[in-house]
């Protein structure tokens, strides 16, 4: 029996190699595999090498091996923990506001019978507008002295806000703008998921006397599990990888002070301002590992074990 199994295995391999479908599939997939190996995995491997050497940009071959020294320095760097705190606060607030808001708007859109595509277009429009343009626009609107938002607050009898110039409100002001810009993307995904739920289930629930909230809680949310898991992962990844907004909107990148200083800004500053490429790469790897762990935990907790 043991001698026959290897022979059967070799026979199966020979048969597979003789099939033209195998060689056609190999010819189709080989360029794609080579592309990913060269342009995706090769830079990752090179980045890991940069993280363990004192990288010399003009003479890379003379880069001295330092092992895990950059990672040790990173965890001893006070600004690293500040950026970690701000990044976590940003991702948490962004997630806590985006998920219920996107669910509410998606539920409203699914109940619309006429003009749904137009409403989706209007909500999705900020997503396709340049992030730099949106950031510059709101930077002007939130100007403490000349901004139109403070003019509106004064007109209705409310005190003006410092928005981007206050250490307490700067990060939350950036989050609010980011929520407004990215909302349409998640609304479109959730709306598509809700429209995919069979209408017969809602009709049966109505016959049983279930109200709007009961139908949403007992039917929509459970059957939206896979879509909601995807959206949750995308939202958290978006929040953890914020960069352009905290560079453009405050008066100085990461300001005022270090109120909006996030991990990606630390990577950028160390690489292109301080020219410490090895240290910056170690920071980027730490961010990658952190995002990967958070994503795996989310999928474990949110992904349903069933499908319909």
pTM: 0.86
* Distance of alpha carbon 180 from alpha carbon 249, whole angstroms: 15
Average pLDDT, integer, range 106-113 = 90
* Distance of alpha carbon 225 from alpha carbon 231, whole angstroms: 10
Q: What is the pLDDT of residue 307?
A: 58
Query: 219 near 199, Cβ under 8 Å?
Result: no
Taking the domains of the chain in order of start, what are their residue ranges? 4-51, 71-302
CATH dotted code for 71-302 = 1.10.3720.10
pLDDT band at 122; cut points 50, 70, 90: very high
Q: What is the pLDDT of residue 232?
A: 93
Average pLDDT, integer, range 165-186 = 95
Per-residue pLDDT at 178 exceeds 90: yes
Q: What is the pLDDT of residue 16?
A: 77
Cis? peptide before 165, omega within 30° of 0: no
Q: Which residues contact 97 (CB under 8 A, 6 or more apart)?
A: 175, 179
Q: For residue range 51-99, what is the model confidence (pLDDT) as tens digits?
A: 899 888 888 888 889 988 999 999 999 999 999 999 999 999 999 999 9
Per-residue pLDDT at 237 exceeds 60: yes
Per-residue pLDDT at 129 exceeds 90: yes
* Distance of alpha carbon 130 from alpha carbon 134, whole angstroms: 6
Q: What is the pLDDT of residue 73?
A: 92
Q: For residue range 44-55, what is the model confidence (pLDDT) as tens digits?
A: 888 888 889 988
């Amino acid at each position: 029996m043991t001698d026959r199994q290897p022979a059967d295995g070799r026979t199966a391999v020979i048969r597979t190699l003789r099939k033209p479908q195998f060689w056609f599939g190999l010819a189709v997939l080989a360029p794609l595999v080579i592309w990913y190996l060269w342009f995706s995995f090769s830079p990752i491997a090179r980045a890991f090498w940069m993280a363990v050497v004192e990288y010399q940009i003009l003479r890379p071959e003379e880069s001295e091996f330092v092992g895990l020294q950059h990672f040790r320095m990173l965890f001893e760097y006070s600004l690293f923990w500040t950026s970690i705190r701000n990044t976590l606060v940003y991702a948490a607030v962004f997630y806590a506001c985006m998920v219920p808001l996107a669910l509410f708007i998606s539920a409203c859109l699914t109940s619309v019978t006429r003009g749904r595509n137009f409403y989706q277009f209007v909500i999705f429009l900020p997503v396709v507008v340049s992030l730099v343009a949106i950031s510059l626009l709101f930077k002007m609107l939130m100007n403490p002295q000349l901004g139109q938002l403070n003019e509106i607050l004064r007109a209705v009898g409310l005190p003006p806000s410092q928005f981007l110039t206050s250490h307490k409100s700067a990060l939350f002001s950036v989050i609010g703008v980011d929520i407004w810009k990215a909302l349409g993307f998640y609304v479109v995904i959730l709306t598509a998921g809700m429209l995919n739920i069979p209408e017969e289930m809602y009709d049966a629930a109505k016959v049983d006397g279930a109200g709007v909230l009961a139908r949403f809680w007992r039917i929509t949310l459970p059957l939206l599990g896979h879509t909601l898991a995807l959206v949750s992962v995308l939202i958290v990844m978006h929040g953890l990888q914020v960069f352009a907004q905290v560079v453009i909107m405050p008066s100085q990148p990461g300001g005022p002070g270090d109120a909006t200083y996030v991990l990606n800004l630390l990577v950028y500053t160390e690489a292109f301002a301080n020219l410490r490429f090895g240290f910056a790469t170690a920071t980027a790897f730490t961010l990658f590992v952190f995002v990967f762990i958070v994503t795996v935990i989310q999928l474990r907790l949110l992904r349903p074990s069933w499908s319909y």
